[in-house]
Amino acid sequence: MKLLRFGLPGAEKPGILDHEGTIRDLSSVIPDLSGATISRYGLEVLRKVDLKTLPAVAAHTRLGAPIANVRHFIAVGLNYVDHALETDTPIPNEPVIFSKAPSCIVGPNDNIIIPKNSSKLDWEAEIAVVIGEAAYDISEAQALAAVAGYLICHDVSERDFQINRGGQWIKGKSAPTFGPLGPWLVTSDEIENPQQLNVSLRVNGVTMQAGTTAKMIFSIAHVVSYISKFMALEPGDIITTGTPHGVGLGKKPPLFLQPNDVVEISIDGLGSQRQVVVSRLTAHQRQLA
């Protein structure tokens, strides 16, 4: 299944993509897509719904982030050898874990707003997992059974905040709009092997990242198991698993996002995203319009 949320920001409804590519409104079946509705049991309930009985949603309706009320937005850094090398960073012996503020989450095609004092706005295309079952201290063999599904995450990053402002990376990873998710959550049964997916990112039509999840240092199963050793994962938690090479920081000379730049991300089986980079002033003007 491809599960999604649609509608205006803050008023999204749950939906599902049918076999013809039409969005169907799930709000008569469930109140929203969140940790409470994406458990193994919850997904079985949705699989039994006759989609033809659900109202169709108008084409080009805005898509929100596929999961509501995210409590933990966890990220893995330096999880591809070539990305570690391009940023001149030692290859880690254990997964590098940090957080993104859940308040940074937006829809897959929403604008990226440049924060105040930003000078090094960067891109990172990633595959993320959504936890569907409570998981604490689970083995690697058990890990993927706790995953409800997969989605695209754009781990937008402000490198000056991240690298030069001290402390944890969360400073450079958490501004509003720094977490586009979607377009939909693809349930685990539709992804035969999450370690064999191509990841690509383009800026203004130019390919910047072209990688594969096969080149992860730590597999998705390993990452989920590893994180569960340190915290109890809950349904609805999101783990984004790192980016391949090709980020702006790694270019020679470095290349960073500017107003009006267009970023497009695609991952096999998970769909695509498109964002326009805008200034804070432009975003404010649009809110007043």
pLDDT at 285 over 80: no
> pTM above 0.85?
yes
pLDDT digits (tens, 9 = 90+) for 234-260: 999 999 999 999 999 999 999 999 999
Question: What pLDDT score was predicted for residue 287?
Answer: 56
pLDDT digits (tens, 9 = 90+) for 61-95: 999 999 999 999 999 999 998 888 888 888 899 99
Bridge partners of residue 185, in order along the sequence: 3
Torsion of Cα atoms, 54 then 56 then 60 then 65, to 10°: 0
pLDDT band at 289 (very low <50, low <70, confident <90, very high): very low
Residues whose CB falls within 8 Å of the CB of residue 251, separated by 6 or more in sequence, listed in order: none
pLDDT band at 284 (very low <50, low <70, confident <90, very high): low
| Average pLDDT of the chain, as a whole number | 95
Dump the DSSP string for 94-119.
S-EEEE--GGGEE-TTSPEEPPTT--
Residue 285, H or E segment: helix 280-288
**CA distance linking residue 98 with residue 81, whole number of Å:** 18
Q: What would the two tokens of residue 173 be? A: 């990873």
Residues whose CB falls within 8 Å of the CB of residue 77, separated by 6 or more in sequence, listed in order: 92, 96, 97, 98, 169, 242
Measured from the Cβ of residue 134, the count of other Cβ atoms closer than 10 Å reads 15
Question: What pLDDT score was predicted for residue 84?
Answer: 81
Residue 148, H or E segment: strand 147-154
Contact 130, 146 (CB under 8 A): no
Query: What domains can be seen in the chain, in order of their start residue?
Result: 67-288 (3.90.850.10)
- CA of 213: how far to CAs of 37, 78, 197, 222, in Å? 28, 13, 5, 13
**CA distance linking residue 50 with residue 53, whole number of Å:** 6
